[in-house]
Structure 1
Amino acid sequence: MATESQELPEIGEIVIATITKLTDHGAYVSLDEYSGLQGFLHISEIAPGWVRSVSKFVKEGEKKVLLVKKVNPNRSEIDLSLKQVSKEQQKKKLLEVKRIEKGKTFLENVKEIAGLSDNDIEKLEDVIFSKYDFVYDMFLDVVTKGIAVLDELKLAKKTVSAIEEVSTKIKPPSVEIRGISEITCNKSDGVEVIKNALLDAIGEQKANVNVVYIGAPKYRITVKGQDFKTAERMLKPILDKLQKTVEKNHGTFNFTREESKKTREG
């Protein structure tokens, strides 16, 4: 039941809820983000079509992503829907919750390392939210852009140092773009020409570029970057230089793109 000062969800909001009790007419749930506030998931809102058994779709103790359909603050009634939540909304909400949980864990680590009080952490959160939507986003920003991104927040030196240390636990997001290069060179030392052309084209980018020999005349070139724009910017000069060198040695060059991949931050 909601108290007078308790925050209530808004109609249309996507929430995380824990199933607490099943009935013939639906399921009672507690809203995880609203201090366990009770809501009700009617049988007609569980799945499309006729639902014969509630327990076939939801079980006690299970967490579900639900849509808030109706809120009656006077009677503390919150009606929810499972069937109106799309897969995309579900995925987005679960990622958001994961981000929040990670942020909490990392802040606890900062608290321990810097020797901060609960009050210090509350103040720190307020400062973080002045720039970021999620606490976790701050740590991710530090990983991808460096600790200098926090300069404008004017945090204490020991706090900045702790944030920097905790940020090293994050594996930054990355993308992979790749393709097959078909390279031929009919010179007597053609294999060496191709090998040197590849090494020369990659140059200082070797930490982000991988070349695998598939079988004459094919080579797979894979480039990793923090986003597609960065990866594309790395790939283009490599291909241009490779083509120029191969054709200068009277060889042929062709590049065919393969499907790109994106990895999540960890």
Structure 2
Amino acid sequence: MRYQQDQALPEEGDLVMATVQEVFPQGAYVTLDEYDGLLGFLHVSEIATGWIRNIEHYVRPKQKVVLKVIRVNRARREVDLSLRQVTNEERRLKVMEVKRAEKANAFLRIIRERCSSMSDDEFDRCVSLIKDEYPMLYDMFEDVARKGTKVLEKLNLPKEIVDAIVDISSKIPLPKVEVGGIMEITCSRSDGIDVIKDVLTSVEGNKHNADVSITYLGAPKYRLVISAENFKVAEKALNSILQSVQKGIEKKGGTFKFTREESRKGVT
């Protein structure tokens, strides 16, 4: 098994992983790793902006590069590509996507070995069911790691495959992001300290699909950190908590100010 697109040719605008085959002054020929080694052409004008003295300063034989598809001739099966139009963020995300796909396929090979009593046809049928639900196969392993076998129930997979998936999923690192900042909270009431404590305790105990940590730094500052599986979930929790704290404090006559800190990525 290998990671490849279902379609025979990429679409204009797609990002592809390619292997450089031949380099010459006018450009480079590459093969597209995800399309069974389909040949593509990278013209020198699409390698970098400005004049290029030595093309091998940018691409060289056997190098893996992320390229953008800029033209496709389906009749002739010709693909023109660009390196200079790929942003750093696009490159990072594409490399991550390919690495995750490679890991997922390696996991499938392990599962196949563990399910040796199953016929090839039956195993391939199960893989097709999984891919229908999870086109990006690695997402399934992360989903199982987070939520357990309930995410597989509707697929009606054989127990031996489910057991193998669960075992592998339990060992993969889960992505985590952290967002937060410094809250400055005051309340001049005689019971101001208790008011602040009650407000912060209430939001810390609520469920936000994220881990919430509030640390006292010394009056009037408190550090708020939200840990979640992705930025969308983390930001939603952060906004909800900030609104609750501000509303709760100001309702009691206090003041509230929030200063954002730099977000972080990591794994659990």
Give the alignment's TM-score, normalised by structure 2: 0.75
SS in 2 for 1:133: coil
Q: How does 1:47-58 map to 2 (within 5 A)?
A: 47-58=48-59
SS in 2 for 1:124: helix
Unaligned runs of 5+ in 1: 1-6
- Residue of structure 1 aligned with 2:184, choices 175, 182, 185: 182
1:182 maps to amino acid: E
2:241 corresponds to = 235
CA deviations over 1:122-156 (Å, ceiling 9, x no partner): 32221112212111121122233331111111100
Q: CA deviation at 1:9?
A: 2.3
1:36 maps to amino acid: G
1:31 corresponds to = 32
Unaligned runs of 5+ in 2: 1-6
Q: CA deviation at 1:118?
A: 5.1
SS in 2 for 1:67: strand
Aligned residues, how many? Answer: 255
- Superposition RMSD on alpha carbons, in Å? 3.7
Moved more, 168-177 or 102-111: 168-177
Moved more, 18-27 or 185-194: 185-194
SS in 1 for 2:133: coil
Q: CA deviation at 1:218?
A: 0.9
CA deviations over 1:64-102 (Å, ceiling 9, x no partner): 11233344655x654332233344543342232122112
2:4 corresponds to = none
Given that 1:211 and 1:219 are in contact with CA atoms closer than 8 Å, whether structure 2 keeps it comes out as yes
1:43 corresponds to = 44
SS in 1 for 2:183: strand
Q: CA deviation at 1:43?
A: 1.7
Given that 1:103 and 1:136 are in contact with CA atoms closer than 8 Å, whether structure 2 keeps it comes out as yes
Given that 1:223 and 1:234 are in contact with CA atoms closer than 8 Å, whether structure 2 keeps it comes out as no
CA 1:220–1:9 in structure 2 vs 1: closer, same or farther (change >3 Å)? same
CA 1:91–1:189 in structure 2 vs 1: closer, same or farther (change >3 Å)? same
1:161 corresponds to = 163
1:10 corresponds to = 10
Q: How does 1:226-265 map to 2 (within 5 A)?
A: 226=229, 227-228=233-234, 231-232=237-238, 235=241, 239=245, 243=249, 247=252, 252-259=254-261, 261=263, 263=265
Q: CA deviation at 1:199?
A: 4.9
1:106 corresponds to = 107
CA 1:241–1:200 in structure 2 vs 1: closer, same or farther (change >3 Å)? farther
Question: What is the distance in 2 between the residues matched to 1:177 and 1:11?
Answer: 36
